[in-house]
Structure 1
């Protein structure tokens, strides 16, 4: 491989798949090369060189030979820069990590160079590891910003049919098929079984999540269970319409994240007492 240049970059591990009895294919998201895949030979041997240096969601320093055969580069070495240690042994957080990485892997086009998507993904994973719940709301924030970076962000401020601006106090029909909201004047002309009615509070929450550059300011926003569920279902319909995603993985991650919120809520009084 000496005739091929060695590339060096940071990378988040998105997917690990078997390649042979002893090798793996690892899919990475990088700021410099977009989404790439490498073959790690000997990765499944008992005495492997890079045990513990990469796993789903890790941020690594990656070296690989810049030569793709059938879409696969040859791995040289890697070092874990952030192994999300706080998530180790926490199966609820692990479920969320798995979903975020799978969504990034499935949604990111091969060869697409979107540095902001790498930074968004690493930021979400770091926030997940370093902060307490609510992680279901972190998932919603990540989904909305991933959609924005891919150029398919839902339209939440103007009617997708007549293009009129919706006032802040108005609710609207949300059409995944049209890619956003439909005002009350245009809604009677839509025959779409999957369309959902968004009340003014839900629409305001989606807009707030969409424009927030960071998740931290959203942590203290109070939401009840019905609002959480409505936002989750609204984005589920949109994602399934516009991306080839894994709804079962998302459903499990949301269930685990909501369980963690409930667990934290029950523990809070005893901690204060």
Structure 2
């Protein structure tokens, strides 16, 4: 997925691609749509009239939809006017199982906590999209969330140094595997329960140390087992 911007900031219509990470009502008829885009980073748009029955945007704006979209950049605020949306992928399985939705929602919250708006995030957007696609098509497991945390920390330049931790060798090896192993191979890992618990607790403390608090939804996301 790539972001395409055809017009310079400050005027005209810009075209981009991205994934919706949050939707909230603005008025009785309008919505605020928060996007994650490779070239634009985190971007907020106003979808005026999107809640009206005959709106051309109705049915196109839900969390974790991947889409191409156009918007008019505001000169006065960080809320830009959404014009058109072409949905590319809805990730429907997320809406059929709460555990999947919780994992992806937590990942989105963690990105919002750890990044600044209006900053290009190509690697982080790619990581998030790959995570959403993987979670949509597989049984939710806690290790997927831990792997996402570690990979996001790496992209942020904050990867933990296992060698300086108090983790035992087995936990250090699991930490490395969760960071490097492809999504499709995570299911083959067979850590001892104590090893997995040690990594989970280590990351809990590391995230609090780096960011001051945990992003909302971590406990629920890890509840998948």
TM-score bracket for this pair, using the shorter chain length: 0.7 to 0.9
The equivalent residue for 2:3 is: none
State which of 22, 27, 34 in structure 1 corresponds to 2:34.
Answer: 27
The equivalent residue for 2:6 is: none
Q: Does 1:152 align with 2:158?
A: yes
Note the C-alpha offset of 1:206: 0.4
Note the C-alpha offset of 1:10: 1.4
Cα contact 1:56–1:97 (8 A) shared by 2: no
Cα contact 2:73–2:80 (8 A) shared by 1: yes
The equivalent residue for 1:65 is: 72
Q: Which runs of 5+ in 1 are unaligned?
A: 160-180, 182-196, 259-273
Q: Within 2, Cα distance between the matches of 1:78 and 1:71?
A: 19
Secondary structure class of the residue paired with 1:210: helix
Cα contact 1:116–1:149 (8 A) shared by 2: yes
Structure 1 pair 51–231 and aligned structure 2 pair: CA distance change class (3 A): farther
Note the C-alpha offset of 1:53: 1.5
The equivalent residue for 1:226 is: 194
TM-score for the superposition, normalised by structure 1? 0.73
Q: Which has the larger displacement, 5-14 or 65-74?
A: 65-74
CA RMSD between the two structures: 2.0
Cα contact 1:58–1:80 (8 A) shared by 2: yes
**CA displacement 1:28-75 (0-9 Å, x = unmatched):** 110111111111111233443223222222211121113353211111
Structure 1 pair 237–132 and aligned structure 2 pair: CA distance change class (3 A): same
Note the C-alpha offset of 1:244: 5.6
Cα contact 2:51–2:58 (8 A) shared by 1: no
Cα contact 1:9–1:30 (8 A) shared by 2: yes
State which of 212, 219, 224 in structure 2 corresponds to 1:251.
Answer: 219
Q: Does 1:198 align with 2:183?
A: no
Secondary structure class of the residue paired with 1:104: helix
Q: Which has the larger displacement, 218-227 or 54-63?
A: 218-227
Secondary structure class of the residue paired with 1:67: coil
Q: Does 1:94 align with 2:62?
A: no
**CA displacement 1:82-117 (0-9 Å, x = unmatched):** 111222221111111211122122222112212011
State which of 57, 60, 67 in structure 2 corresponds to 1:50.
Answer: 57
Q: Within 1, Cα distance between the matches of 2:104 and 2:138?
A: 14
TM-score for the superposition, normalised by structure 2? 0.87
Q: Which runs of 5+ in 2 are unaligned?
A: 1-9
Note the C-alpha offset of 1:249: 0.8
